[in-house]
Structure 1
Amino acid sequence: MRGNDREAALRRLLEQGQRTVPPGIHEEAVRRGGRMLRRRALARRLLWLLLVAAATAFAVWALTVEPWVEPPSETTPPLTGW
């Protein structure tokens, strides 16, 4: 299509007037949209719960194991110079 043909086709579409929306589409869209929002909210809550559980587990592990502390020496240095 050339530019003039596209413009003429667009003008014809616009001049035909408003088309009607089939009945029931609005209600269906609202129902599906609400369900999608509820699922997203549930997924977001589950992800936050998982994040909090992982942070808590890490904190408990770190306080129990204390990885920042140097482990005690298993051998003693030789005693010389007594």
Structure 2
Amino acid sequence: MNRPEREAAVRHLMEQVSPSVPPDLHTEVVRRGSRMLRRRRAALRLMWFVLFAASVAFVVWAVTARPWVEPPSETTPPLTGW
């Protein structure tokens, strides 16, 4: 394709009528968009709830198990009666 043919093809594309948008497209897009936002918001709330529940469960476990305390030694008998 030489330059004049390309220019003619581009002019032809630019002179065409732009495609029309279906009249009910806007309402459908708004409906789907709001549904997506509701789902995203619900997923975010669920994620925060799960994170909160996991942190509460960890705190309860840490308070009851006390993993930072060294366990008593079981290899040697306790020194009593000195």
Shift of 1:23: 1.6
Shift of 1:30: 0.5
Counterpart code for 2:70: E
Q: Label 1:33 to 1:6 Cα distance change in 2 as closer, same or farther (>3 A).
A: farther
1:76 equivalenced with 2:74 (yes/no): no
- TM (norm. structure 2) is 0.77
Shift of 1:13: 2.4
* RMSD between aligned residues: 2.6
- TM (norm. structure 1) is 0.77
Q: What residue is the counterpart of 1:53 in the other structure? A: 53
Describe the SS at the equivalent of 1:22.
coil
Q: What residue is the counterpart of 2:43 in the other structure? A: 43
Shift of 1:18: 3.0
Q: Label 1:15 to 1:29 Cα distance change in 2 as closer, same or farther (>3 A).
A: same
Instruction: Tell me the matched-pair count.
Output: 79
Shift of 1:15: 1.6
Shift of 1:16: 1.6
